[in-house]
Amino acid sequence: MSLRDLVHGLRVVAIPSPTLPPATHTNTYVLGHGEVAVVDPGGDRREDYVRMLEQLRAGGERVAGIWLTHHHGDHVAGLKMLRELLPEDVPVRAHPWTARDLTPRHGPLQGDLEEGEGTLPDGTPVRILATPGHAPGHLIFGLPGGHWVVGDMVATVGTILIDPVEGDLAQYLESLERMRQLHAVALYPAHGEPIEAAEALLSGYIAHRHMRTQQIHQALETEGIQDEISLAARIYPELPTDVLGLAAAQILTHLLWMERHGLARRAGDGWSA
Ligand SMILES: [Zn+2]
């Protein structure tokens, strides 16, 4: 696997990572030229970083910073490894929430990336948008020309999970809507290939979540009180039982959103419409 050019100032290498199937890799993006920033070192194989650094070095380039979209394990699994391989300490920059969460386990991080205008190590301007919902400190990075590195906001391999405890469906939907208004030329997700029809994809994501909410509401109306597991089994009948727990967590995320909107309420061990 070698670095692949996407557009000027943006390269990618997909690295095997401890992510959720069916995804098996996390895209590590390299931003800028010369003095570059590496985004989301989520792979857990040292040799992949050795090779990436060799390629950069061969081109006379140097890693001058590591930027994170969010704190999930499949985005930071290689952080320590990469830091150890670099000849000098470089700033690891993330949202303040992400820095607070990761510093105890991954060493010092700078929590100085927030929504607004930023600058890459090579001087390229970058737009930073805070997009909470999948993770509280989630950020996306906009390069000149409307090219956005979007972490786990969308994916072309696998699905985006919104955890009922640390995630928030209302925030996620709002973040997707803000992303839609960027009129991005392309989105570069952490899992899968780039997306050129950005607005169509984002509209589809938003519609899909509302469709799911409606499905749950309908199931509660027709079948009466149910818990998350029975709702998950009804709504995802094709799912193998070992991932039913994850599906139930997704259902709970929706139920919490519905509760806030008066569409569902707790009833004993389950939920009713
Ligand atoms: Zn994630």
What total of structural domains would you count in the chain?
2
| Whether residue 254 sits in one domain with residue 146 | no
Question: How high is the pLDDT of residue 84?
Answer: 96
pLDDT, residue 141, reads 98
- Name the 3-class secondary structure at 192: coil
Check whether residue 192 and residue 213 sit in a common domain. Answer: no
What is the CA(139)–ligand 1 centre distance, in A? 11
Please state the three-class secondary structure of 142-177 as a single string.
EECCCEEEEECCCCCCCCCCCCCCCCCHHHHHHHHH
Residues 166 and 240 grouped into a single domain: no
Distance 166 CA to ligand 1 centre (A): 11
Same domain flag for 91 and 217: no
Can you read off the two tokens belonging to residue 49? 């970083």
In the reported structure, the alpha carbon of residue 72 is separated from the centroid of ligand 1 by a whole-number distance in angstroms of: 5
- Within 8 A by CB and 6+ apart from 93, the residues are 65, 66, 67, 68, 109, 110, 112, 113
Residues 34 and 143 in one domain: yes
- Domain assignment present for residue 140? The answer is yes
SS3 call for 139: strand
- Ligand 1 midpoint to CA 142 (Å): 18
Same domain, residue pair 213 and 188: no
> What is the Cα–Cα distance from 45 to 252, expressed in whole angstroms?
34
Question: What is the residue-level pLDDT of the chain in tens, covering all 273 positions?
Answer: 789 999 999 999 999 999 888 889 999 999 999 999 999 999 999 999 999 999 999 999 999 999 999 999 999 999 999 999 999 999 999 999 999 999 999 999 999 999 999 999 999 999 999 999 999 999 999 999 999 999 999 999 988 999 999 999 999 999 999 999 999 999 999 999 999 999 999 999 999 999 999 999 999 999 999 999 999 999 988 888 888 999 999 999 999 999 999 999 999 999 999
| Exposed e or buried b per residue across 163-184, where buried means at least 16 C-beta atoms within 10 angstroms of its C-beta | ebeebbbebbbebbeebbebeb
Q: What is the pLDDT of residue 82?
A: 97
Say yes or no: 86 and 179 in one domain: yes
Provide the CATH number for the domain around residue 238: 1.10.10.10
Boundary (domain end) residue, out of 157, 173, 196: 196
The pLDDT value given to residue 165:
94
Supply the range of the domain harboring residue 268.
208-272
248: in domain: yes
CA 1 to ligand 1 center in whole angstroms: 23
214 Cα–ligand 1 center, Å: 25
One domain for residues 230 and 135: no
Any domain includes 203:
no
40 C-alpha vs ligand 1 centroid, how far in Å? Answer: 11
Distance 134 CA to ligand 1 centre (A): 6
Are the beta carbons of 85 and 112 closer than 8 angstroms? Answer: no
Distance 32 CA to ligand 1 centre (A): 24
Question: CATH number for the domain including 43?
Answer: 3.60.15.10
- 163 and 220 inside one domain: no
Could you tell me if 107 and 13 lie in one domain?
yes
Whether residue 202 lies inside any domain: the answer is no
- pTM of the shown model: 0.95
The Å distance, Cα 225 to ligand 1 centre, comes to 32
* 125 lies in the same domain as 257: no
If you measure from the C-alpha of residue 268 to the centroid of ligand 1, how many angstroms do you get, rounded to a whole number? 32
CA of 123 to the centre of ligand 1 (A): 28
Please report whether residue 201 resides in a domain: no
Q: Is residue 115 part of a domain?
A: yes
The last residue of a domain, from among 196, 222, 238: 196
Do 10 and 93 fall within a single domain? yes
